[in-house]
């Protein structure tokens, strides 16, 4: 267990009995690219996570050490000054400490060792787990509570500070997740609720295509945002109350189809229908209708492939192979697009044979070795153990 190793390391090196905080990774069951259109998303926090061993150190510094990937020790004075560091994770902590100082948060000296079992770059939101878990750890040591909503905003601000212009879905999923439930978030007003996942006899598996997001992703992402904004602008001329694609209907699209680029129409149609898929998924999960859950996953994938055009031939191959396997109820690409993973719903009794067939089929079609991760739905950020 990762947490036990971190505790032993902390006790050996810092001679104290630490508090353990666990910050989970997250998956997104459905609702892709809807967040910046003020739509709906349906993520869930998972068992894999980042563990923080922390204790007060009665000094004027926050000392942080990575136990697993890219080991390095970094020290931040409570006024925010620090020596040079090399690690990418140091930038997140630096941004968080600077934000807390600017908001006059009463920081206290702290020792922190962290590590985890979230595969970096697999679309499980390791950066949101890193930020939210660290801020939560700081509040436990400093003694001044921050609401989870406030922690989410600080974590988002930290990501923006280092150049990642993210929404709030990841942070909310990491902070508010609940074992056995999906987390419905309305990105318009941040209202949220829990949706029970009643799928006994079925398992969630992530398959990494091992196709890395290429450099074109940012420009392609921006093109799609612009398409969405173009539609809103046009519809607003006749419906002034429209503020985002959330307020646009398929009928509205029909009405402007002769005035605007067909590609923009196609992309907007994807977003409107994806919001509806989130609503359908909530009902299917609550009912325990595994067949419908699988259908929605497949439908969502092919809409991303043909309408929003953000998948790759390799990801399409993974989904297509799954469609021909009896044990795989449905799959879709998860995340921003142009690489990454598929999320798959698989009959537990056929789990091993289905995964094996998926990986073999993918290898024979693409010559690429895929990896897989079992997923279990777990709680959001919490004190894990003492």
For the annotated catalytic residues, the residue numbers are 170
Q: Across 202-327, where does the E strand assignment appear? A: 202-208
Q: What is the DSSP string of 32-84?
A: -S-GGGT-EEEEEEEEEEEEEEEEE-SSSEEEEEESSSS--EEEEETTS-B--
- Helix (H) or strand (E) run with residue 110 in it: strand 110-116
The answer to whether residues 264 and 258 touch, using CB atoms and an 8 Å cutoff, is no
Half-sphere exposure of 97 (CA within 13 A, CB side): 23
How far is the first Cα of the chain from the last one, in angstroms, to the nearest whole number? 15
Two tokens, residue 324: 């021909």
The answer to whether residues 62 and 85 touch, using CB atoms and an 8 Å cutoff, is no
Q: Across 176-275, where does the E strand assignment appear? A: 181-186, 192-196, 202-208
Chain Cα centroid distance, residue 240 = 33
Spatial distance between the Cα atoms of 69 and 140, rounded to a whole number of angstroms: 25
The answer to whether residues 122 and 373 touch, using CB atoms and an 8 Å cutoff, is yes
Cβ neighbours of residue 74 under 8 Å, at least 6 residues apart?
63, 64, 65, 82, 83, 85, 87, 90, 93
Cβ neighbours of residue 189 under 8 Å, at least 6 residues apart?
none
């Amino acid at each position: 267990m990762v947490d036990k190793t971190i505790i032993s390391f902390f006790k050996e090196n810092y001679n104290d009995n630490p508090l353990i905080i666990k910050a989970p990774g997250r998956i997104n069951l459905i609702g892709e690219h809807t967040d910046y259109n003020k739509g709906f998303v349906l993520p869930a926090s998972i068992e894999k996570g980042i563990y923080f061993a922390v204790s007060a150190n009665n000094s004027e510094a926050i000392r942080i050490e990575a136990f697993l990937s890219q080991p390095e020790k970094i020290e931040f004075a409570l006024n925010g000054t620090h020596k040079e560091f090399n690690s990418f994770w140091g930038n997140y902590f630096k941004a968080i400490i600077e934000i807390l100082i600017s908001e006059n948060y009463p920081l206290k000296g702290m020792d922190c060792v962290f590590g985890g079992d979230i595969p970096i770059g697999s679309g499980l939101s390791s950066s949101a787990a890193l930020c939210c878990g660290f801020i939560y750890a700081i509040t436990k040591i400093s003694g001044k509570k921050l609401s989870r909503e406030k922690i989410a905003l600080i974590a988002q601000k930290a990501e923006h500070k280092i150049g990642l212009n993210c929404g709030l879905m990841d942070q909310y999923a990491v902070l508010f997740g609940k074992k056995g439930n999906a987390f419905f978030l309305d990105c318009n007003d941040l209202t949220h609720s829990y949706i029970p996942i009643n799928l006994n006899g079925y398992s969630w598996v992530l398959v990494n295509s091992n196709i890395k997001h290429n450099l074109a992703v940012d420009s392609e992402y921006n093109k799609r945002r612009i398409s969405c904004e173009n539609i809103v602008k046009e519809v607003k001329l006749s419906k002034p109350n429209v503020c985002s694609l959330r307020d646009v209907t398929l009928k509205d699209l029909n009405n402007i189809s002769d005035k605007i680029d067909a590609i923009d129409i196609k992309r907007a149609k994807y977003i409107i229908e994806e919001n509806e898929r989130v609503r359908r998924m909530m009902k299917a999960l609550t009912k325990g209708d595994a067949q419908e859950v699988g259908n929605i996953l497949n439908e969502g994938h092919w809409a991303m492939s043909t309408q929003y055009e953000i998948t790759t031939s390799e990801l399409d191959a993974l989904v297509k192979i799954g469609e021909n396997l009896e044990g795989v109820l449905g799959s879709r690409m998860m995340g921003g697009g142009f690489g990454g993973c598929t999320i798959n719903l698989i009959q537990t009794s056929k789990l091993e044979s289905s995964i094996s067939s998926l990986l073999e089929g993918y290898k024979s079609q693409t010559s690429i070795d895929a990896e897989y991760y079992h997923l279990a739905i777990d709680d959001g950020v919490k004190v894990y153990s003492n």
